[in-house]
């Protein structure tokens, strides 16, 4: 019988490794599905509220999530199409995408731009993906006011998404973690890291603030190339801050 122990131990190790691999695969697939579901929800709400909805930005994000899911299932690496992009155009477009959603759930959504004509070297659809996650997360989990602020910092363009605190009811029960949710901050951190920037999240009694910093482009861009999202062709915690990606 003792001679069977090495074999049994090997099989148990292989089985445990297989379970871990499958768990990681399921998490990545659920993250991709999360990214597909969120922009489509925003597009559906815009269609319901606007007399003549356009929604190209949200469609771009949905197509990007589908491409990510395709690459995850069939292999391949995600492409990062970086180019000089107006930072203000990116941030304003993200705020406008979520203004209707905020109003529908009785939240205010404010933008404060203090970055002049800052130009970032970025993949506009990937940055839109990160900003959408931060804004939608603040609307869903924050208080009645969400503020988006942009300024210049040592790391380039600093974009903050801040929300008021939410009163926690006494005796609140903790729900089991839903594996289909909770991927937004990780997506934002990944986008920042892939651009050579960084992402931080601060949480305190006064609320929460998510910060993403993106490097500036070497030179400003012309008005003709100002647009951020929609130019891709084809599918292919002021509290102590905790660095999620660098």
> Which residue has 């989990």 as its token pair?
141
Q: What is the DSSP letter of 216?
A: B
Q: How high is the pLDDT of residue 3?
A: 61
Question: How many angstroms separate the CA atoms of 84 and 218, rounded?
Answer: 8
163 phi and psi, to 5 degrees?
-140, 150
Q: How confident is the model at residue 226 (pLDDT cuts 50, 70, 90)?
A: very low
Question: How many angstroms separate the CA atoms of 100 and 35, rounded?
Answer: 19
Give the residue from 197, 246, 235, 205 showing the smallest Cα distance to 87: 197
Q: How confident is the model at residue 104 (pLDDT cuts 50, 70, 90)?
A: very high
Question: How many angstroms separate the CA atoms of 49 and 52, rounded?
Answer: 9
Q: How high is the pLDDT of residue 36?
A: 72
Let me know the angle formed at the C-alpha of 77 by 71 and 79, rounded to the nearest 5 degrees: 105
For the chain, percent of residues with pLDDT exceeding 70: 67
Please tell me which residue, 4 or 246, carries the higher pLDDT value: 4
Buried b / exposed e over 21-31, threshold 16 CB at 10 Å, is eeeeeeeeebb
Res. 27: pLDDT tops 60? yes
Percent helix, percent strand, percent coil in the chain, to nearest 5 = 50, 20, 30
- For 53-91, the pLDDT digits (tens) are 444 567 777 778 777 877 777 777 777 889 999 999 999
Question: How many angstroms separate the CA atoms of 90 and 85, rounded?
Answer: 8
- For 186-225, the pLDDT digits (tens) are 999 999 999 999 999 988 777 899 999 999 998 665 543 4
Q: How high is the pLDDT of residue 5?
A: 61
HSE-CB for 67 with a 13 A CA cutoff: 17
- For 162-178, the pLDDT digits (tens) are 998 876 655 554 555 66
């Amino acid at each position: 019988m003792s001679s069977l122990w090495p074999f049994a131990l090997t099989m148990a190790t292989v089985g445990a490794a297989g379970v871990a691999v499958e768990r990681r695969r399921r998490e990545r697939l659920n993250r991709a599905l999360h990214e597909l579901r969120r922009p489509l929800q925003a597009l559906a709400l815009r269609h319901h509220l606007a007399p003549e909805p356009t929604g190209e930005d949200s469609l771009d994000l949905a197509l990007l999530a589908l491409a990510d899911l395709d690459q995850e299932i069939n292999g391949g690496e995600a492409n990062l199409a970086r180019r000089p992009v107006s930072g203000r155009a990116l941030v304003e477009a993200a705020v406008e995408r979520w203004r209707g959603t905020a109003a529908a759930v009785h939240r205010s959504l404010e933008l404060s731009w203090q970055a002049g004509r800052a130009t970032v070297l970025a993949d506009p659809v990937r940055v839109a993906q990160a900003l959408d996650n931060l804004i939608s997360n603040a609307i869903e989990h924050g208080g009645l006011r969400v503020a988006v602020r942009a300024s210049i910092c040592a790391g380039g363009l600093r974009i903050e998404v801040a929300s008021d605190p939410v009163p926690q009811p006494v005796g609140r029960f903790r729900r089991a973690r839903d594996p289909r949710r909770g991927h937004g901050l990780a997506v934002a951190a990944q986008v920042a890291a892939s651009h050579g920037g960084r992402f931080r999240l601060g949480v305190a009694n006064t609320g929460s603030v998510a910060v993403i910093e993106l490097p500036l482009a070497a030179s400003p861009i012309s008005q003709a190339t100002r647009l951020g999202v929609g130019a891709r062709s084809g599918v292919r915690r002021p509290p102590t801050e905790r660095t999620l990606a660098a």
